[in-house]
Structure formats: C-alpha cells, structure tokens
Amino acid sequence: MTKDRYTVWDNCLRTIKSSIAAQSYKTWFEPIKPVNLEDSILTIQVPNKFFYEWLEEHYVGLLKATIQKELGEQAKLEYQILMGPASGERKQNNGTNGHYQSDSSLGFMPDAFMNPFVIPGIKQVRVDPHLNRNYTFDNFIEGDCNKLGRSAGMAVAKKPGGTAFNPLVIYGQVGLGKTHLAQAIGNEVVKTNKNKNVLYGTTESFTNQIIQAIKNNAINEFVAYYQNIDILILDDIQFLANKVKTQEIFFHIFNHLHQSGHQIILTSDRPPRDLEGMEERLISRFKWGLTTDLQAPDLETRMAILEEKMHKDGIDLPRDVVEYVCYNIKDNVRELEGVLNSIAAQASLNQRTIDVDLAREVVRKFVKEAQRELTLDHIQNQVADHYNIPVDKLKAKTRKRPIVIARQLSMFLAKSLTNKSLKTIGEMFGGRDHSTVIYSCRAVQDMMDTDREFRLTVEGLEKQLSMAS
C-alpha cells in the first residue's frame, strides 16, 4: 500500500506533537509542508535556512525516529528550503506551496548559504532553482538559427554533466532566446530528475551575493553552497567583466563543479574570446565544452514564434498582420512579443480593428533606426523600378500624373520607413520643402484608403524594402 505524503506527515506530526511542548510544536512544525514523497524519501518544505538548521540541531533525532516509524528503516528526509530574503513578503508566502519562485530577477539569495556537508543528519538539501517555468523546450521554437544550441541543450538536460558540452556556453545578441534556452534546460532537469539541484541566476545577482558574502565574512559558505549545485546556470556572464574578485570566486566554483562532473551552463552576449576584462584562465575554461550561438531567426521561424505566442496569449492576428510584423521585426524576438502585446493592447483599449494599418503604427514605434539603415536612394530606386521610370524623374519638376504618384509614394515610404526629417526628405527630392512632403504623405494615405490596388502596391513595396534592409 502506498501512502501519500499528507497522511505520512500527519502521522508524524501526531507523534511529534505528543512528544514536545505545544509552543515548540507550533513554532517549528506547523509551518512545515510536506511537498513530496517518493521511494521512502519524504521532502518537507521549510521557510528558510535558519529553520532548517534549528530542526537539524534540536529535532533530528525525533524526526528520524518518527519518519522511520512511518516509512521504515530506509526512510529519508529531505528539506526544501524556500530561500527568501531575510525579511519581506516572500517569507510570508513561504510554506504555502511547493512552487518555486518564478521571478528569476531575484537571483540567488544572499542569506541562503548552507553547507550540507558539515551538518549531520539524514537529509539532502534541496534548493529553489529560481527558474521561470514558462521557459520550456516545448515553447522554444526550433529554427536554423538555434538548431545546434537547442539540441545541445536537450542533450545536456537529458544527461547533465554527462556530455562533452560542459560548460555549455550559449551566446547571442539580446532578445534571441539565451535566457529562455538556458532556463528550458533547467526546467527539463527539474521535471525529469528530481534528485538534482538546479540553480539559475543572473551574473548580476551572483556578483551582489559575493559582495554581501565578503561583507559578512561568509565567502567559504558561499563557495560551499554553490559546490552543491548539480546544474548551475549563470546568465549574462559578460557582466563578470573587470570584476576581479567575483571572477576569482567563480573560477573556484567552476573548477569544483566541473571536476565533480556537475553541469555548468553559461550565457553571454558575445563569444568567450571576445569577452573583455575577463581572466584568460576563465575564458580558456569556457572553451572546454561547447560554445554555440543563437542567430536571428529567419522569417518562417519568426512567424512560428509569433504564432506560438499568440496561441499562448489567446490573441488572434490576421495572417497579413502576422506577415507584416514578422517582415519588419527581424533582430529581436523580444521585440516581436512587444509588438504583439502592443497591438493587442491598442485593439482592446482603443477598440481598434487589428489590421495592417494598426500593425504599421505599432511596428514603427518599435523598429529602431539602426535596424533599418534604409537609404532614401534605395527607396527611390525601388519605387522608380516598380513604376518603370527613370529615378531622376522623381527629383525633377515633372507633374505628369504617374511620376507625381511615384514621387509622392517615395516620400511616403521615406517618411514611414526611415527616421529622416521632413526637411531631409524634401531635399532628396529635388530640393522640395517639408510642406510638400507632408502633402505627399497625406495624398498617399488618401489613395490607400480609397484604392485597393494602390494599397496593395504600397504594402508590397514596404515588404520589399523592409526585407532588403
């Protein structure tokens, strides 16, 4: 017969209650939650490290006896420690459930040092992995841009520390999924391998904790604590640059983990060789395993990512809007999400219909100048090509209708696709002034509103131009 954790723990509590003072029972046992029971290992969650140490010091004998009575000789007790800050709301939440913290920005907690090696007893220590559960392999869309990283990540998740990919270094520009992929590995391990201690943290929080530890004269505990981690994920290691002491401590932790066959996963915004202000011995270690980059996704992958986010958020964009957005947002998946959210917000707050017009407005706000170094020349050439007229005519005084339309359209595109001022645009069209540019933009907008054919032409050109940039 298999017992569930609640029954087992309730029975334990009954025994404990009858053997200690009521106040002690209330203080030390009531806040405990049983979170798991597997193979005679009962995992209980305690609010913090101090709590755990107190239990170990004062009640280990009692705990051991009661648990063995319930689960037999081979019974083991594990602690899961909710590592909250010393004060504050998180402590209040402690013990309410077995979920781990999803706000990864909290990083490692400075007061959470502990070293299970030096504490006798019958436990293993569980740490809160600080993972965001939303980052999984399932929703990390595969494309040519991330194939190697994704499959290396899966391999690592299946056999942490047991592949040649140690450390696994994932690098790439901002917004391309480094954090997502690194956390997906962590989440996968947590899901499939409950005995492993996974810890995710930003380099920033790691650094802050070291500063804290130095202040508290607790560097040894700090290092010892990290040495217990089976899978350490350190995000954005470029921030280790020029931090000599942090690098030194990390070096020791790295060596220990690596020698013990524990897995290290690092992310960086550039390849290890380009990390400046970083000790050579660290850089050379980063190269021991696998270094893989994440590239900007191609159009199909961007569309798949966007569709996945739409699905998740329950937002429905028409196909042409999806295409428009993905044609225009190329270098940053986070921006793609930003545009999606912004479109959804506009649609619901301002009761706007979701169409390409709305998308264009939103995208314009997002796309940075740097992302589209579209030149006015390029726009003029493209439009002239399309209408099959010599490009010079766009700058000339001619008032022939087809040329006027092409000229106005070029100005419109110049205004909407670049950040050039009206004045600059005017100058590029044979020295016209800014009011002519404004007039042209309006004229084009009017035509787009009334002439479907023309509108499709404009959209086609926009696509072409934004693909070329």
Q: Say whether 189 sits in a helix, a strand or coil.
A: helix
List the interface residues with ligand ADP, window 96-125 (CB under 6 A).
Answer: none
Q: Is the peptide bond before 116 cis (omega within 30 degrees of 0)?
A: no
Measured from the CB atom, the residue of 179 and 457 that comes closer to ligand ADP is 179
By DSSP bridging, strand 263-268 and strand 231-235 are: parallel
- In the list 141, 237, 317, 339, the residue contacting ligand ADP (rule: CB under 6 A) is 141
Q: Which stretch binds ligand ADP (CB under 6 A): 329-337, 361-369, 421-429, 451-459?
A: 329-337
Minimum distance of Mg ion from residue 199's CB (angstroms): 16
Q: Taking CB under 6 A as the rule, does residue 268 contact ligand ADP? A: no
Q: Taking CB under 6 A as the rule, does residue 305 contact ligand ADP? A: yes
Q: Which stretch binds ligand ADP (CB under 6 A): 119-127, 138-146, 154-162, 450-458?
A: 138-146
List CB contacts of 198: < 8 A, sequence separation 6 or more: 127, 129, 131, 186, 189, 190, 229, 230, 231, 233
Describe the crossing of helices 401-417 and 452-468 by its angle, rounded to 10 degrees.
50
Sign of the C-alpha dihedral, residues 175, 178, 181, 182?
negative
Nearest to 448 by CA among 432, 459, 437: 459
214: tokens are 């130095």
Q: Which stretch binds ligand ADP (CB under 6 A): 331-339, 370-378, 440-448, 455-463?
A: 331-339
Measured from the CB atom, the residue of 90 and 178 that comes closer to ligand ADP is 178
* Size of the residue set binding Mg ion (CB under 5 A): 2
C-alpha span between 30 and 43 (Å, rounded): 15
C-alpha span between 309 and 336 (Å, rounded): 9
- In the list 101, 104, 132, 146, the residue contacting ligand ADP (rule: CB under 6 A) is 146
> Are the CB atoms for 203 and 249 separated by under 8 Å?
no
Minimum distance of ligand ADP from residue 177's CB (angstroms): 3
Q: Taking CB under 6 A as the rule, does residue 237 contact ligand ADP? A: no
Q: Which stretch binds ligand ADP (CB under 6 A): 88-96, 118-126, 137-145, 193-201?
A: 137-145
Strands of the 125-126 sheet, one edge to the other: 33-38, 41-46, 76-81, 125-126
Measured from the CB atom, the residue of 181 and 411 that comes closer to Mg ion is 181
Nearest to 416 by CA among 452, 453, 469: 469
Backbone angles phi, psi at 128, to 5 degrees: -75, 120
Write down the H helix ranges in 199-330.
203-215, 219-226, 244-259, 280-286, 299-313, 319-328
Q: Which stretch binds Mg ion (CB under 5 A): 69-77, 171-179, 254-262, 303-311?
A: 171-179
The entry of ligand ADP, Mg ion, none near residue 177 (CB within 5 to 8 angstroms by kind) is: ligand ADP
The entry of ligand ADP, Mg ion, none near residue 59 (CB within 5 to 8 angstroms by kind) is: none
* Size of the residue set binding ligand ADP (CB under 6 A): 17
> Per-residue x/- mask for Mg ion, residues 173 to 202, rule CB under 5 A?
-----xx-----------------------
> Per-residue x/- mask for ligand ADP, residues 164 to 193, rule CB under 6 A?
--------x-xxxxxxx-------------
Residues near ligand ADP (CB under 6 A) are 139-141, 146, 172, 174-180, 305, 308, 333-334, 337
